[in-house]
């Protein structure tokens, strides 16, 4: 559930009219709802009352420091994949002790920085990375807490939408090699083995693949216990899907209940979730203005002022996101449009074949844009990045100003 609703044919974010946001801050603009973010976070945080649970929000989904700060104030931890994300978390008032560091390519300087800030855990993805962390930790004389990201190789035939938990991709350690790697870690002077983690994919709409992965992790935990290696946490990653187009993913409470049931025999394990999309996607929209309507023989185009550089999911993944008008008009004929941006690429579209009753100058929103929206944006075609606005009740706050012209060439230099 979210807080973007029509009142008398006008779309509101909580108590603020989107039309007022466009008038005050311009377009294109990302608009987020604080109540929605907090509701979604709490759905996870309160989902397993019988367990010691830490929600580590996946920062890559949306890394604006105002949003990170809201989550930090609620006690959230964070899943990061770069020093930049860690610095954002710290800047936002997040607690380093609640940070897990994922990703296959951690550099020496990133490891140093993470050790010095005292993060909760490194989610290690390869043996060379494990050895690098040991070397850096020993040089700094800090004990590095580690978890090994295992790749549970969930059968793609049964669950074809899973893309990151298969042997064929770059993530994690083959689960059959994990025992030996844990023994190597356990013997290292500056590593402390804390947990196990996995992340099998994103936008999952069923719980079964998570449970299959969990079974494999628990079998590994048993094997480790048999050789005297006792873990304190299990991190089952993110990946819970959201409704973009009528999908019906399980509620976090339903998902968590099934996970908790499987963990009954493991009271010593604390639990970590790394949700990104499920917290942010439907807490944000991309607000844009119709510049031109361009009728055609085969297609009608609505050319808007947001483009693939602002929201790349439709172009990159053929992702479908709902597009609705800010003002519902009954006196305008609805036509079927491809909603496209000004970027010079055929792939620059936000949605195809959408029935819309619109006129030039009207405002539209692309829904479900709070996750992997702004964070994947770029300056392609020298377009300044959009503004970001956070609505809280009947107030709106600019949480990132629209980029200025000078921002486009910041750091660039002429040669003599
Ligand atoms: N943990 C790890 C280790 C991850 O790699 C990811 C996402 C997450 C957690 C959060 O997953 P979520 O709960 O958001 O599904 N750009 C794509 C999504 C890429 C997801 C990458 N990893 C998109 O726009 O659909």
Supply the pLDDT for residue 171.
86
Instruction: State the average pLDDT over residues 251-272.
Output: 97
Ligand 1 center to 276 CA (angstroms): 6
What would the pLDDT profile of 198-252 be if each residue is shown by its tens digit? 999 999 999 999 999 999 999 999 999 999 999 999 999 999 999 999 999 999 9
Instruction: Please state the atom number of ligand 1 nearest to the C-alpha of residue 241.
Output: 15
- Please give the mean pLDDT across all residues of the chain: 96
Supply the pLDDT for residue 155.
57
Domains of the chain plus CATH, in order, are 4-32+281-408 (2.40.37.10), 103-273 (3.20.20.10)
Query: Can you give the pTM of this predicted structure?
Result: 0.97
Q: Is the N-terminal amide bond of 363 cis, ω within 30° of 0? A: no
Residue of 274, 286, 311, 316 to test ligand 1 pocket, by largest number of atoms within 8 Å of CB: 274
157: pLDDT strictly greater than 50:
no
Ligand 1 center to 278 CA (angstroms): 10
Binding-site residues for substrate, in ranges, read 277, 313, 317, 345, 372
Closest residue (by CA) to atom 22 of ligand 1? 202
What would the pLDDT profile of 353-407 be if each residue is shown by its tens digit? 999 999 999 999 999 999 999 999 999 999 999 999 999 999 999 999 999 999 9
Instruction: State the average pLDDT over residues 83-90.
Output: 98
Binding-site residues for pyridoxal 5'-phosphate, in ranges, read 239, 274-277, 372
Q: How many helices (H) and strands (E) does the chain have?
A: 12, 21
- Residues in contact with ligand 1 (CB, 6 Å cut-off): 58, 61, 79, 102, 199, 202-203, 237-240, 274-278, 313, 372
Supply the pLDDT for residue 154.
83
59: pLDDT strictly greater than 70:
yes
295: pLDDT strictly greater than 90:
yes
Instruction: State the average pLDDT over residues 22-30.
Output: 98
168: pLDDT strictly greater than 80:
no
Ligand 1 center to 201 CA (angstroms): 7
162: pLDDT strictly greater than 70:
no
Supply the pLDDT for residue 165.
67
Instruction: Please state the atom number of ligand 1 nearest to the C-alpha of residue 276.
Output: 14
Ligand 1 center to 350 CA (angstroms): 21
Closest residue (by CA) to atom 17 of ligand 1? 372
Supply the pLDDT for residue 156.
40
ipTM of the complex: 0.99
Instruction: Please state the atom number of ligand 1 nearest to the C-alpha of residue 239.
Output: 15
Closest residue (by CA) to atom 20 of ligand 1? 202
Rounded Cα–Cα distance for residues 279 and 275 (Å): 7
Ligand 1 center to 359 CA (angstroms): 36
Query: Treating both helix axes as pointing N-terminal to C-terminal, what angle do 178-187 and 127-140 enclose, rounded to 10 degrees?
Result: 10
Residue of 37, 166, 239, 313 to test ligand 1 pocket, by largest number of atoms within 8 Å of CB: 239
Q: CB–CB of 342/27 below 8 Å?
A: no
Q: What stretches of 118-155 show up as alpha helix (H) in DSSP?
A: 127-140
Residue of 102, 147, 199 to test ligand 1 pocket, by largest number of atoms within 8 Å of CB: 199
Active site residues: 344
Closest residue (by CA) to atom 6 of ligand 1? 238
Ligand 1 center to 227 CA (angstroms): 33
158: pLDDT strictly greater than 60:
no
Closest residue (by CA) to atom 9 of ligand 1? 238
């Amino acid at each position: 559930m979210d807080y973007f609703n029509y009142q008398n044919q006008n779309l509101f974010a909580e108590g603020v009219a989107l039309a007022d946001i466009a008038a005050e801050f311009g377009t294109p603009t990302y608009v987020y709802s604080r109540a929605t973010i907090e509701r979604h976070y709490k759905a996870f945080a309160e989902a397993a009352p019988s367990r010691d649970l830490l929600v580590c929000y996946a920062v890559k989904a949306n890394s604006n420091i105002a949003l990170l700060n809201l989550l930090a104030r609620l006690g959230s931890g964070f899943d990061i994949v770069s020093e930049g994300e860690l610095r954002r978390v710290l800047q936002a008032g997040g607690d380093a002790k609640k940070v897990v560091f994922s990703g296959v390519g951690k550099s020496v300087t990133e490891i140093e920085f993470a050790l010095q800030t005292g993060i909760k855990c490194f989610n290690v993805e390869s043996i060379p990375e494990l050895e690098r962390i040991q070397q850096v930790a020993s040089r700094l004389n800090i004990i590095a807490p580690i978890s090994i990201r295992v790749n549970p190789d969930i059968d793609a035939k049964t669950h074809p939408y899973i893309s990151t938990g298969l042997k064929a991709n770059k993530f994690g350690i083959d689960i059959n090699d994990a025992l030996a790697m844990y023994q190597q870690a356990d013997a290292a002077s500056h590593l402390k083995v804390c947990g196990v983690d996995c992340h099998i994919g994103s936008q999952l709409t069923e719980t079964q693949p998570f449970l299959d992965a969990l079974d494999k992790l628990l079998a590994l935990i048993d094997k480790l216990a048999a050789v005297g290696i006792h873990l304190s946490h299990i991190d089952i990653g993110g990946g819970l899907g959201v409704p973009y187009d009528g999908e019906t993913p399980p509620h976090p409470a339903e998902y968590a209940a099934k996970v908790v049931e499987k963990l009954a025999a493991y009271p010593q394990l604390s639990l970590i979730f790394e949700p990104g999309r499920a917290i942010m996607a439907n807490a944000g929209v991309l607000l844009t203005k119709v510049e031109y309507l361009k009728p055609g023989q085969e297609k009608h185009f609505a050319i808007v002022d947001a483009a693939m550089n602002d929201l790349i999911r439709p172009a990159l993944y053929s992702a479908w996101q709902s597009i609705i008008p800010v003002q519902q008009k009954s006196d305008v004929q609805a036509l079927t449009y491809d909603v496209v941006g000004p970027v010079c690429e055929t792939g620059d579209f936000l949605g195809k074949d959408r029935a819309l009753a619109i006129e030039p100058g009207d405002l539209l929103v692309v829904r479900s844009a709070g996750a992997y929206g702004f964070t994947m944006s770029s300056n392609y075609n020298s377009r300044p990045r959009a503004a970001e606005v956070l609505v809280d009740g009947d107030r709106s706050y600019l949480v990132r100003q629209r980029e200025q012209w000078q921002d486009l060439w910041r750091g660039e230099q002429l040669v003599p």
